[in-house]
Amino acid sequence: MKLFHKLGIHTLFFSSKDKRLASSIKMITGRKPLNLSLYRLALTPAGLSEESHQGFRISNERLEFLGDAILGAVIAEHLFKKFPFRDEGFLTETRSKLVNRETLNSIGIKIGLKDTLELVIDSRQFTGNKSLYGDILEAFLGAIYLDRGYQFSKKLILSRILIHMDLEGMITTVSNYKSKIIEWAQKENKTVEYKVIQINGNQRFKEFVVELHVDEESISSGKGPTKKKAEQDASKYACEKLGLLN
Amino acid sequence: MKLFHKLGIHTLFFSSKDKRLASSIKMITGRKPLNLSLYRLALTPAGLSEESHQGFRISNERLEFLGDAILGAVIAEHLFKKFPFRDEGFLTETRSKLVNRETLNSIGIKIGLKDTLELVIDSRQFTGNKSLYGDILEAFLGAIYLDRGYQFSKKLILSRILIHMDLEGMITTVSNYKSKIIEWAQKENKTVEYKVIQINGNQRFKEFVVELHVDEESISSGKGPTKKKAEQDASKYACEKLGLLN
């Protein structure tokens, strides 16, 4: 079957609709799909899926889960290598900003998934949710991974997805939680104090536990190997609690 | 340099300490390390790291970020293939249960990272945090990935890490959020009601928005392509809010 695919013999049996779909996919990935059904599944949003005999709903959501993981790994390596002097907090946060729903959605449209979806469904009859093309993009990456392997997916993500992500712009907005809290407190006219309440470990290894007090009331705590990191950690939780992250 | 590594010539310059470390790593991965310094970095917990000239703290945390992503991708594919009829919610939750801190920590010890760490540091002088070996395991996977690539890491994770994860046992505990809420409500003697407050979309695509009311007060909302999924979604948020997830 694999040889069959490699020689392209399976394409002889493609309907004209399949052929159009296959060339649309080639436009996106640069290579003909080996297993077209994977891509067709990636182009099946949950809202459009039909129930199979066993009551199992077949949609692209499982592929989305897989694609999200592959995308996460590739972006992780890219950031790891691009920023050799930044800590893991920066890397984690930059990645989550890069792969957020809105960004993925607009990239999905840019690389042509909207047009490709229209080859499969009658989109006039279909209103997807807001992140429809982002979800499809992730599912599509899952399909590509299963169809062509990790190296191929990685190259594709780096050359055709990442270029649409405004990495430089994002970095400047990656937040300093502590400064967010302090800014907020100034605006709200509240006092802020970070209190070290515990130091674990010994001379060589330390773990600081810090409590963040707003108007003399503890609102969060955090920990880390340095006081600064513990303060950031506590501030992060406080930002979440106070809804300052949007 | 790569050829140098492949021929093993670099090992001629290893100190006896390096040689012990290299064979300890070979015991874990099955192959001699090509770039020993990556593994040495993986064995540098944040609490033990020293500041470099530029004030940059060198520790295994960046590698941990990378290893976590690689582990996530490999486990995602494994679950995707092992459970062809389970939905993405199940896959997501099973993965997060598999790669939790405690599990990783005990696996880290089981595969020999404790002994390996002792070759690098004097552990009597060092008390790490609770998930020390789990963190090292992830960093170690990051080092293996950079040293040997994705396929090698994948095989290693499937053959030497996953066998220590009690997948079957975990599946039975993967939770049904709605039943958790109902159980809780019965115990606390509260009434629970799920109200569909909105249906978006058209005949072909639907998105349900459901509100969960406890004692006639809305405590969370959720959405999904079916009523059942929207209810699960709302229940999940409620579980988090009520602290029922531990």
What would the pLDDT profile of B141-157 be if each residue is shown by its tens digit? 999 999 999 999 999 99
Whether B199 has a pLDDT exceeding 70, the answer reads: yes
**For testing contact with chain A, the best of B44, B53, B124, B150 (most A CBs within 10 A):** B150
Contact B120, B136 (CB under 8 A): no
**Least confident window among A110-119, B116-125, B217-226:** B116-125
pLDDT tens per residue across span B85-109: 888 988 998 999 899 888 999 999 9
More confident residue, B161 or B240: B161
As assigned by CATH, the class of the B2-173 domain is: mainly alpha
Please, are residues B141 and B157 in contact by the beta-carbon 8 Å criterion? Answer: yes
Q: What percent of chain B has pLDDT over 90?
A: 48
B138 carries a ligand binding annotation: yes
> How close is the nearest chain B Cα to the Cα of A93, in Å?
11
Percent of chain B with pLDDT over 70: 85
Give me the pLDDT at residue A64, please: 96
Radius of gyration for the alpha carbons in chain A, expressed in angstroms and rounded: 23
Interface contact B70, partner A, CB < 8 A:
yes
Calculated CA dihedral for residues A230, A234, A240, A243, nearest 10 degrees: -120
Query: Distance (Å, rounded) from C-alpha A238 to C-alpha A182?
Result: 11
Domain boundaries, chain A: 2-173, 177-242
Mean pLDDT across B176-197: 87
* Cβ–Cβ gap B85/A61 under 8 Å: no
Query: Closest to B225 (Cβ–Cβ): which among A46, A77, A150?
Result: A46
Q: For the segment B155-171, what is each residue's pLDDT rounded down to a tens digit?
A: 999 999 998 888 877 77
The per-residue b/e assignment along A77-86, b for 16 or more CB within 10 angstroms, e otherwise, is bbbbeeeeeb
Is residue B9 scored above 80 in pLDDT?
no
Residues of A in contact with B225 (CB under 8 A): 46-47, 49, 59
Q: How confident is the prediction along chain A (246 residues), in pLDDT tens digits per residue?
A: 566 666 667 777 778 889 999 999 999 999 999 999 999 999 998 776 665 545 556 889 999 999 999 999 999 999 999 998 888 988 998 999 899 888 999 999 999 999 999 888 866 566 677 889 999 999 999 999 999 999 999 999 999 999 888 887 777 655 578 878 888 888 888 999 999 998 887 766 778 899 999 999 999 999 887 788 888 889 988 988 888 876
Q: Which residues of A touch B80 (CB under 8 A)?
A: 62, 65-66, 142
Cβ contact B26:B32 at 8 Å: yes
Mind listing the pLDDT tens digit for each residue in B33-84? Answer: 999 999 999 999 877 666 554 555 688 999 999 999 999 999 999 999 999 8
Residue range A177-242, CATH number: 3.30.160.20
- Contact, A170 vs A82, CB < 8 A? no
CB A163 within 8 A of CB A107: no
Of B61, B73, B87, the CB nearest to A73: B73
- What's the DSSP call for residue B203? S
Q: Give residue B125's pLDDT.
A: 63
Write the Ramachandran bin of A55: left for phi over 0, alpha for psi from -120 to 50, otherwise beta: left
Give the pLDDT band (50/70/90) at residue B207.
confident
Q: Please judge whether A73 and B77 are an interchain contact, meaning their C-beta atoms are less than 8 angstroms apart.
A: no
User: For residue A125, which residues of chain B lie inside 8 Å, CB to CB?
Assistant: 202-204
Q: What is the pLDDT of residue A2?
A: 63
Interface test with A, best of B51, B60, B62 (most A CBs within 10 A): B62
Identify the active-site residue in B50, B61, B68, B233: B68
| Exposed / middle / buried, residue A221 (Cβ in 10 Å: 0-12, 13-18, 19+) | middle
